[in-house]
Amino acid sequence: MSIHEPAIRCETNEPLADPELTDGFHLLLDALKLNDIDTLFGLPGIPITDFLRTAQAEGMRVITFRHEQNAGNAAAAAGFLTGKPGVCMTVSAPGFLNGLTALANATTNCFPMILISGSSEREIVDLQQGDYEEMDQLAIAKPLCKAAYRILQAKDIGVGIARAIRAAVSGRPGGVYLDLPARLFSQTLPLEVGRQSLINVVDPAPRQFPAPDRVSHALALLKSAKKPLVILGKGAAYARAECEINAFIEKTGIPYLPMSMAKGLLPDTHELSAAAARSYVLQESDVVVLIGVRLNWLLSHGKGKTWAQEKGPKKFIQLDIAPTEIDSNVAIDAPLIGDIVSCMQSLLAGIDNHWQKPPTEWTAAIAERKEKNAKKMAEKLAERPSPMSFQSALSAVKQVVKDNPEAIVVSEGANTLDFARSIVDMYLPRKRLDVGTWGVMGIGMGFAVAASVVTGHQVIAIEGDSAFGFSGMEVETLCRYQLPVCVVVFNNNGIYKGTDINASGGKDPAPTVFVKNACYEMLMEAFGGRGVHVTTVDQLHQAMNEAIALGIPTLINAHIDETAGTESGRITSLNPAKTTRK
Ligand code: ADP
Ligand code: TPW
Ligand code: MG
């Protein structure tokens, strides 16, 4: 632990008078460093400007953004990728609110992050006396995150950081808000008292083993299955359970479906991947093992036609760290509560070499459908229409990711997202970041920056033109930090497609269309990065390869057929029904 020589600067930029004192600035920094937080994402302003400067001066990586939402998204992605809470720092009221969307999204996605915002003093906020950027931030944050704390005294900074870290990563991970009134930063303490107030958090995400009788129950149910299916979710990716999951799939021979961010836990090309026969296995399976995945809207709540429940109810085994997740949508016959690695190890202990693999009728029927669908897809990918279709453009991306399996793929949009998810194979765990549980637009550049910063790997961001716009200004951030990020904008002139017309006949454009043939590549060029405009698959392939070879920020504006997309991509059915007005 390093407690520093007395603060070089306090809030007013005055040197501390007494060399035996420390202050809130340094205690906060030391508390974070003591707990292995080495990177801060944020956006400066009173009262955190000097904090970020000091943090950088003391060796922390400080990544600042052009909008707090992107800094917050970066912290969330860093949390998912590293298992340590990603930390985002903002100013009060508007900066805090800008970061709050990311905090709520992180909580929804079960990603650990801590949003630290400066705030006005309590006595002014509580009497609503109109301070600079005044807001009761703690009260606003509370319902939108997993936990929220305020630190009022410098001597409590150690406890505050410890509580925030534990809340973020223990149990189901999520977002934590930490409220720091500005005065805290310049409060002083004797150096030794400060040193002793800090806490090195021991075992912040304790392992949790499932009860042995529950493991036996789950195994018995699994043994009874004629058509078993495993579904892998991003909780399994977060838990770093790939070794155990791999062993489980290999030993049991059970086919599996990966949710989008669980792609790559096993290579998508694995013979037991049932992704290309998704509808069939959801309908036909009899016992389903859910591993770090919720039965939410992304799985039609475990009900209805998707699951063909009319054929008789399915049995579910669910591995999750959150006991209250169980039975949230349909009855779960065998809940297994614990962390995924421990749950998987417990299951594996009961699976020997004599385990009866699923009947070949089941695996052969899946293989047959997979083959048929894969053939159809291969034909589509081989087409070379002009302008490019989503599929033809993605055939280039597919090949580039195959050639660069270490690269991290970030993806958002509607059609762009949906096609990319099913076409681009992933080969390694935690290499795919996307719109997550909310299906939120705007994660693109924040996730891309974080992925690059915390892993050092190449990032490939596959962005719908609308999706890109939500965080597009961060191309400056990519250029400022010289990050190896290749952004491909799938430019179809709008949201879903570019062909909508204003039904009133008026001169305003329709709500979903953008300026035609916009030159997104020039945005990147404006900051010294590399911009390329492509109209063919070969050009796209080449431009991506060059971007990766050069390792510099690149934006490829890929011209896509503006008629090709469908409304809301694959979730058209969620649009409310509409009557035709006479
Ligand atoms: P997906 O979006 O991929 O379908 P979800 O986000 O719906 O996945 O589900 C993730 C689940 O994983 C959550 O219910 C969460 O509680 C659980 N989870 C997260 N981390 C762990 C862990 N370490 N061990 C067990 N379960 C976890
Ligand atoms: C924060 C609603 C879902 S998808 C989308 C929007 C606006 C953009 C689709 O257009 P894009 O992709 O990106 O060009 P493509 O390939 O289909 O043309 N605001 C937020 N989140 C969501 N999900 C929306 C709006 C939406
Ligand atoms: Mg679009």
pLDDT digits (tens, 9 = 90+) for 210-221: 999 999 999 999
| Ligand 1 centroid to residue 440 C-alpha, Å | 18
Half-sphere exposure of 349 (CA within 13 A, CB side): 11
Residue 501 has pLDDT above 90, yes or no: yes
pLDDT bucket at 407, cuts 50 / 70 / 90: very high
Q: Are 224 and 61 in contact (CB under 8 A)?
A: no
pLDDT bucket at 571, cuts 50 / 70 / 90: confident
Radius of gyration from C-alpha coordinates of the chain: 25
Cα separation, 496 vs 559, whole angstroms: 14
| CB of 133 shorter than 6 A to ligand 1 | no
Kindly give the number of the ligand 2 atom that is closest to the alpha carbon of 490. 16
| CB of 320 shorter than 6 A to ligand 1 | yes
Could you tell which of 495, 514, 559 is best to mutate to test the pocket of ligand 2, judged by most ligand atoms within 8 Å of the CB?
495
| CB of 110 shorter than 6 A to ligand 1 | yes
Q: Are 198 and 37 in contact (CB under 8 A)?
A: no
| CB of 415 shorter than 6 A to ligand 2 | yes
Residue 421 has pLDDT above 80, yes or no: yes
Q: How far is CA 551 from CA 71, 187, 411, 482, in A?
A: 22, 44, 19, 9
Nearest CA to ligand 1 atom 1: 233
Cα separation, 127 vs 120, whole angstroms: 12
pLDDT in tens, 454-484: 999 999 999 999 999 999 999 999 999 999 9
Nearest CA to ligand 2 atom 26: 441
The amino acid that residue 180 corresponds to is L
Cα separation, 528 vs 257, whole angstroms: 42
| Secondary structure of 76-125 in HEC code, one letter for each residue | HHHHHHHCCCEEEEECCCHHHHHHHHHHHHHHHHCCCEEEEEEECCHHHH
pLDDT in tens, 67-77: 999 999 999 99
Residue 434 has pLDDT above 90, yes or no: yes
| CB of 437 shorter than 6 A to ligand 2 | no
| CB of 569 shorter than 6 A to ligand 2 | yes
Whether cis (ω within 30° of 0) applies to the bond prior to 85 is no
DSSP 40: E
Cα separation, 220 vs 118, whole angstroms: 53
| CB of 335 shorter than 6 A to ligand 1 | no
Kindly give the number of the ligand 2 atom that is closest to the alpha carbon of 413. 13
Burial of 143 (0-12, 13-18, 19+ CB in 10 A): exposed
Cα separation, 240 vs 82, whole angstroms: 10
Kindly give the number of the ligand 2 atom that is closest to the alpha carbon of 465. 14
Q: Are 500 and 514 in contact (CB under 8 A)?
A: no
| Ligand 3 centroid to residue 497 C-alpha, Å | 6
Q: Looking at 299-407, which runs of residues are DSSP E strands?
A: 315-320, 334-337
Cα separation, 286 vs 229, whole angstroms: 8
Tokens describing residue 204: 């912040």
Q: At what angle do helices 390-403 and 360-382 cross, to 10 degrees?
A: 110
Could you tell which of 84, 109, 293 is best to mutate to test the pocket of ligand 1, judged by most ligand atoms within 8 Å of the CB?
293
Kindly give the number of the ligand 2 atom that is closest to the alpha carbon of 412. 13
pLDDT bucket at 310, cuts 50 / 70 / 90: confident
Domains of the chain (ranges, CATH numbers) = 7-197 (3.40.50.970), 212-367 (3.40.50.1220), 383-573 (3.40.50.970)
Residue 363 has pLDDT above 70, yes or no: yes
Cα separation, 403 vs 343, whole angstroms: 34
The pLDDT score that the predictor gives to residue 13 is 45
| Ligand 2 centroid to residue 119 C-alpha, Å | 33
Cα separation, 547 vs 535, whole angstroms: 17
Q: Are 435 and 443 in contact (CB under 8 A)?
A: yes
pLDDT bucket at 6, cuts 50 / 70 / 90: very low
Cα separation, 568 vs 25, whole angstroms: 47
Q: Give the closest ligand to the alpha carbon of residue 437.
A: 1
Q: What integer best gives the mean pLDDT of the chain?
A: 95
| CB of 520 shorter than 6 A to ligand 2 | no
Q: Are 4 and 26 in contact (CB under 8 A)?
A: yes
Could you tell which of 294, 295, 421 is best to mutate to test the pocket of ligand 1, judged by most ligand atoms within 8 Å of the CB?
294
Cα separation, 250 vs 236, whole angstroms: 17
Burial of 504 (0-12, 13-18, 19+ CB in 10 A): exposed
Q: How many helices (H) and strands (E) does the chain have?
A: 22, 19
Tokens describing residue 240: 């770093």
pLDDT bucket at 4, cuts 50 / 70 / 90: very low
The pLDDT score that the predictor gives to residue 16 is 60
| Ligand 1 centroid to residue 221 C-alpha, Å | 22
Cα separation, 519 vs 531, whole angstroms: 9
| Ligand 2 centroid to residue 362 C-alpha, Å | 38
* Mean pLDDT along residues 305-332: 94
Could you tell which of 111, 169, 232, 320 is best to mutate to test the pocket of ligand 1, judged by most ligand atoms within 8 Å of the CB?
320
Pairing of strands 485-491, 554-559: parallel
| Ligand 2 centroid to residue 419 C-alpha, Å | 14
Pairing of strands 188-190, 334-337: unpaired
Query: Model's pTM, two decimal places?
Result: 0.96
Residue 5 has pLDDT above 60, yes or no: no
| CB of 437 shorter than 6 A to ligand 1 | yes
The pLDDT score that the predictor gives to residue 10 is 38
DSSP 358: P
Residue 19 has pLDDT above 90, yes or no: no
Residue 365 has pLDDT above 80, yes or no: yes
| Ligand 3 centroid to residue 267 C-alpha, Å | 29
| CB of 496 shorter than 6 A to ligand 2 | yes
Nearest CA to ligand 2 atom 25: 441
| CB of 328 shorter than 6 A to ligand 1 | no
| Ligand 2 centroid to residue 546 C-alpha, Å | 29
The pLDDT score that the predictor gives to residue 572 is 81
Helix (H, G, I), strand (E, B) or coil at 229: strand
| CB of 296 shorter than 6 A to ligand 1 | yes
Q: Give the closest ligand to the alpha carbon of residue 439.
A: 2
Q: Give the closest ligand to the alpha carbon of residue 567.
A: 2
H/E stretch holding 412 = strand 408-412
| Ligand 1 centroid to residue 308 C-alpha, Å | 24
Q: Give the closest ligand to the alpha carbon of residue 83.
A: 1
Residue 15 has pLDDT above 70, yes or no: no
Q: Are 149 and 176 in contact (CB under 8 A)?
A: yes
pLDDT bucket at 7, cuts 50 / 70 / 90: very low
pLDDT bucket at 2, cuts 50 / 70 / 90: very low
Helix (H, G, I), strand (E, B) or coil at 29: helix
Of 89, 78, 87, whose CA–CA distance to 42 is shortest?
89
| CB of 462 shorter than 6 A to ligand 2 | no
Residue located via tokens 């404006």: 526
Cα separation, 267 vs 291, whole angstroms: 17
Cα separation, 483 vs 476, whole angstroms: 10
Q: Give the closest ligand to the alpha carbon of residue 491.
A: 3
Q: Are 454 and 78 in contact (CB under 8 A)?
A: yes
* Mean pLDDT along residues 115-134: 95
Of 114, 63, 118, whose CA–CA distance to 88 is shortest?
114
Q: Are 561 and 389 in contact (CB under 8 A)?
A: yes
Burial of 246 (0-12, 13-18, 19+ CB in 10 A): middle
Q: What percent of the chain has pLDDT over 70?
A: 97
| CB of 294 shorter than 6 A to ligand 1 | yes
The pLDDT score that the predictor gives to residue 582 is 57
The pLDDT score that the predictor gives to residue 309 is 83
Residue 356 has pLDDT above 50, yes or no: yes
Residue 11 has pLDDT above 50, yes or no: no
Kindly give the number of the ligand 2 atom that is closest to the alpha carbon of 498. 18
The pLDDT score that the predictor gives to residue 17 is 63
Tokens describing residue 333: 């016959």
Half-sphere exposure of 183 (CA within 13 A, CB side): 8
